[in-house]
Chains A and B, each alone.
Chain A
Amino acid sequence: MSSIRTFAKKYGWSYLFILPSLLTFALFTLIPVLWSLVISFQKYSLARGGTWVTPIYANYAQAFTMLNGIFLISIRNTLVYTLFTVTANILIGLMIASLIQPLANYMRTFFRAAYYLPAVTSALIIGLTWAYIFNAQWGFATYLTRMFGLPPIRWLSDPDIALTSITLSAILTIPATAIVLFSAAMGSIPLEYYEAADLDGANPIQKWWHITVPLVKSTTLYLVVLYTIASFEVFERIYVMVPSGVGNATQTIVTQIYANGFKEFDFGIASAQAFVLFGMIAAIAFFQFRALRSDVEY
C-alpha cells in the first residue's frame, strides 16, 4: 500500500499532466487507427457491426479490382499530381528563398509575409478561387487564352486537361512553408563560406550551387517528405474544382476513400484504401529516415 503511495507521490503529477492529452489521443486517434485496421478486413454495417471477410484480404483485393480498377487510376493520378507539384514547390521555394536572402531585413520580412498570406486561408477557399479562375466562361485563365487568340480550353471539364489544370493551380500556389524553412536554413550558413568563395572568384550562381544548395540539403529532404505527404492527401482542391468529377480523370486516393466510405458506406473497402495510403506515406517516411541517417552533418 505504501509503495503505491510513494509511487503516486513521486510520479502522480507527471501522469496527471500528460493524462488529458494522452486520453484524447488514445480515444480519437490510437483506437480509431487500430479499429480501422480491423474494419479493413471486415464487412461492416452500422446496424449489425462487422463480420470478417473471406479470404481475409478480400477488401484489399476488391479495392483494386472494383469498377475496372478505378483505385489504380486514382493512385496514378495522385502520383502524377504529386510528382509535378512537389518538384515545382521545392524548386520555387528554393529559388525564392535564395533571392530574398540577400535583401535587407525588412524587405525579407515583407516578402515572406506576402508569400505566406494566402497560405492562412483554407485549402477549400484557395481551391474555390482557382475554380473561378478556370471557369470556362468568365474565368481569368479563359480570359487570357481569349486575349492571346488561343482556342477556348475546357480547363476543368475536358478529361484530358482537368488534372493538368488542378496540378497547375497547385504549382502556382507559392509554397510558403518551403520559403520560410529554406530561408531559416540559409540564414544559419556561416558567412565565412561565402567569403572564402569570393576569394576564389566564384560568381553568385556558383556560390549558390556549391555552398547554399548542399548546405540546405536536410531541409530540402524534410520539405520533400512534407509536400509529398500533403500531395498524397490532396482532396479539397479537387472537391471544389471538379465537384462531380470528370470521369476517372480527377479521382485521387482520398476522393476514392471519401466516395467509398461516405457515399457508398462501404466501410471495409474505404478502410482498406485508407491503409494503402498509410502504407505509401510510411514508405516515404522510411525513405526520409534512411536518407537522414546517412546524411553528413555540417
Chain B
Amino acid sequence: MTTNTEIFPKIESKSAHRRFTFNGYRVLAWFVLIVTTIIALFPMYWLFANAFTPITSTPPLTPILVPAFKLDNFERLLVNNKFYLNWMLNSLIVAFAVTAFHVICDTMAGYAFAKKRFPGRNLLFVLILSTLMIPIHVTFIPLYIINRQLGLIDSLWALILPGTAWVFGIFLMRQYIQTLPSELEDAARIDGCSEFGVFRYVIFPLSRPAVAALAIFTFVRSWNDFLWPVIALNKPQNYTLTVGVANLQGEFMTDWGIIFSGAALAAIPMIIFFLLFQKYFIEGVRMGALKG
C-alpha cells in the first residue's frame, strides 16, 4: 500500500463519522432550540390568548391555548376604564420628549467628546462613565424632594426631567462618532460650514445607525419604566401605562378579561415597534456593549 491510499480512506471515514455525529448533535440542538423558543414566547402568547378570548369573571381551569380572536375584553376595558387612553397618551408624551432630548443632546455631547479637544474633556467623560453603574434607586429620594418643592409631583414633568439624565447615550454616541473619518468635517468647514452646521449636516446624518439604536433604546426604556412613575404619580388620570396596568388588578378584581386585555394592549406597541425595527434593536444591544 502506498501512503496515499493509506491516508485517503482515513480522511474519508473520518469525515463520514463526523457527519454522522454532527447529525446526532443536530437533532438534539434543534430540540433544545425549539423547546427554549416555546418557553421564551409562551408567557406572552398565553397572555394574548386570554386577552383575545371573552372572559368576564374567573378564567377557565383548563387553560385557553387557542384564542377566540374576539375583542370583547378590549371593548370592556376601554368602556369601563375611562383613563386607559390617558395612560397611553401620557406614556407616549413622556417617551417622545425624553427620546427627542437624548437623540439631539447626546449626539451633540458625544460628538464633542469624540472629536473635539477642550480643557476638562477627559475629566468630565470619566465622571460620566463612573456614574453608569450607580443604581438609579439612590437618586429617587432627592428627586422626590426636588419635584415636590417645584410642585411637579403628579405631573409628567416629574418623569420627563429626570428622564433626560441618562448618560448611556453620550457614551454610545461617542463610541460611534469616534469611528467616523474627520476628513468630511474638515471639508465642510473649508466650505464655510459653521460649527453647528458641521454637526447638523455632517455628523448627525452620518451617525444615523447609532442614533436609531439610541432612539429605540430610550423610547423603550421610558415606555417600560415603572418604579419612579409609581413614586411620582398619584392620581389615576396622570398614570403612565405601566402604573395604570399594575393597578388594574386592584380595580377590576373580578373581571379578568379587562385585566388581561389591559396588560396585552400595553405590550402591543412595543412588540410592533420591535417587529418593525428588529435589526436596530439587535445592533443596539451590540453597540451598547462595546467597551472603551
Q: Contact residues of A with B, CB < 8 Å? A: 10-11, 13-15, 17-18, 20-22, 24-25, 27-33, 35-36, 39, 44, 46, 92, 95-96, 99-100, 111-118, 120-126, 128-130, 132-133, 137-138, 140, 143, 146, 172-174, 176-177, 180-181, 184, 198, 201, 203-204, 222, 229, 232-233, 235-236, 239-240, 243, 254, 257-258, 261-262, 267, 270-271, 274-275, 277-278, 281-282, 285
**Given A114-B40, A121-B270, A122-B266, 12 additional A-B pairs, CB 8 A:** A11-B118, A20-B108, A20-B109, A28-B164, A99-B32, A120-B281, A121-B267, A130-B43, A132-B47, A180-B285, A204-B21, A235-B226
Q: Tell whether A116 pairs with B281 under 8 Å between CB atoms, given A121-B44, A239-B246.
A: yes
The residue in B148, B224, B231 that gathers the most chain A C-beta atoms within 10 A of its C-beta is B224
B44 near A117 with CB under 8 A, answer yes
Q: What are the residues of chain B within 8 A of A30 when measuring CB–CB?
A: 127, 131
In this complex, the member of B21, B33, B141, B143 whose beta carbon has the largest number of chain A beta carbons within 10 angstroms is: B141
In the complex, the chain B residue whose C-beta lies closest to that of A177 is B285
Q: Is B210 an interface residue (CB 8 A)?
A: no
- A29-B167 in contact given A36-B138, A36-B142 (Cβ < 8 Å): yes
Contact A128:B263 (CB < 8 A) given known A32-B138, A39-B141, A180-B286? yes
Contact B224 A17 (CB under 8 A): no
Looking at chain B, what size class is its interface with the partner chain? 35 or more
Q: Which of B135-160 contact A (CB under 8 A)?
A: 135, 137-146, 148
- Chain B residues, Cβ within 8 Å of A39: 141-142
- Which chain B residues lie closer than 8 Å to A22 at the CB level? 109, 124, 128
Q: B169 — which chain A residues lie within 8 A by C-beta?
A: 21
Interface positions, chain B 277-292, Cβ under 8 Å from A, are 278, 281-282, 285-286, 289, 291
Say yes or no: B273 contacts A120, CB within 8 Å.
yes
B187 at the interface (CB under 8 A from A): no
Give the number of residue pairs across the A-B interface with Cβ within 8 Å.
257
Residues 154-176 of B, flagged 1 when their CB comes within 8 A of A and 0 if not, give 00000001101101011000000
Please provide the 6 A-B residue pairs with the shortest distance between their CB atoms, ordered closest to farther. A122-B224, A28-B165, A32-B142, A32-B139, A17-B112, A174-B40
Q: A117-B274, A129-B47, A172-B39 are in contact. Are A18 and B167 (CB under 8 A)?
A: no
Q: Which residues of B contact A33 (CB under 8 A)?
A: 131, 134, 138-139, 142
Are the C-beta atoms of A233 and B164 separated by less than 8 Å? no
Whole-angstrom CA separation of A258 from B135 in the bound complex: 13
Of B148, B165, B263, the contact of A129 (CB 8 Å cutoff): B263
Of A21, A92, A262, A267, which one neighbours B36 at CB under 8 angstroms? A92
Q: Name 12 A/B residue pairs within 8 A (Cβ), A-sorted.
A: A14-B112, A18-B112, A20-B108, A29-B139, A35-B145, A123-B226, A133-B46, A174-B36, A180-B285, A204-B22, A239-B226, A274-B135
Given contacts A13-B195, A21-B170, A115-B40, contact A120 B220 (CB under 8 A): yes
Cβ–Cβ contact B105 & A21, under 8 A = yes
- Cα of A138 to Cα of B53 in the assembled complex, Å: 15
Write out the residue numbers on chain B whose beta carbons fall within 8 Å of the beta carbon of A128: 47, 245-246, 263
B210 CB, min distance to chain A CBs, angstroms: 15
Taking CB atoms, residues of chain A closer than 8 Å to B58 are 137-138
Kindly state the separation between the CA atoms of A132 and B111 in the bound complex, as whole angstroms.
47
